[in-house]
Structure 1
Amino acid sequence: MGLLDSVKARLGPAKGKVSDLAQQHGGRIQHGLDRAAKAVDERTKGKYSDRIRTGADKAKGAVDRLAHKDGTGADTGGGTPGSTPPTPGTTPPAGPPPTS
């Protein structure tokens, strides 16, 4: 067993607990990320605003992925936002419709 396999085996149970905590406290975590980003932005006098915002948004995305690991409440499909998923048992059309 390699080092990476050993680390994965030990961190497996922790991932579930982190996911549960992210589901319970997602709003608080995101609020804290916003406050931290604002504080850093103020201390750097806006010099790195775009990078700080990008980092905060990526961190929020990671929290969302952790919170929705089981697929409940998350968009697990590959469709566009607002689109309805295909009905089970039906095959969606392949490609654009033919032109006459």
Structure 2
Amino acid sequence: MGMFDNLRDKATDAVDEHGDKVSEGVDKAGEFANEKTGGEHGDKIDQGTDFAKDRLDGLDGQDDDIQ
């Protein structure tokens, strides 16, 4: 098993166990970025947070971790 496989496995375990906290962190990061840009790029930031959540949710192949 390579280094990246090990990292992916750890990330998958973290999302499985703490998906709600990860989702909150992604949302807070998006809100922070939106504030710093004065809402100028809100649509792009929302797209980015949605994409990040989809990628994290796809780690274990299930759509139940990230809301």
User: How many correspondences in the alignment?
Assistant: 63
Structure 2: gaps (5+ residues): none
Query: 1:61 corresponds to which residue?
Result: 54
Letter of the 2:50 partner, please give it. D
1:51 correspondence with 2:44? yes
1:40 correspondence with 2:33? yes
| Aligned equivalents of 1:55, 1:47: Cα separation in 2 | 14
Query: 1:27 corresponds to which residue?
Result: 20
Give every structure 1 segment of 4 or more consecutive aligned residues whose post-TM-superposition deviation is greater than 6 Å. Answer: none
TM-score, structure 1 normalization:
0.57
Structure (1/2) with the larger helix percentage? 2
| Aligned equivalents of 2:17, 2:43: Cα separation in 1 | 29
| Aligned equivalents of 1:42, 1:36: Cα separation in 2 | 10
Flag the structure with more relative contact order, 1 or 2, with Cα contacts below 8 A and sequence separation at least 6: 2
- Aligned residues: CA RMSD: 1.7
Query: 1:15 corresponds to which residue?
Result: 8
| Secondary structure of the structure 2 residue equivalent to 1:62 | helix
TM-score, structure 2 normalization:
0.81
User: Which piece of structure 1 moves more, 43-52 or 13-22?
Assistant: 13-22
State the percentage of identical aligned residues.
30
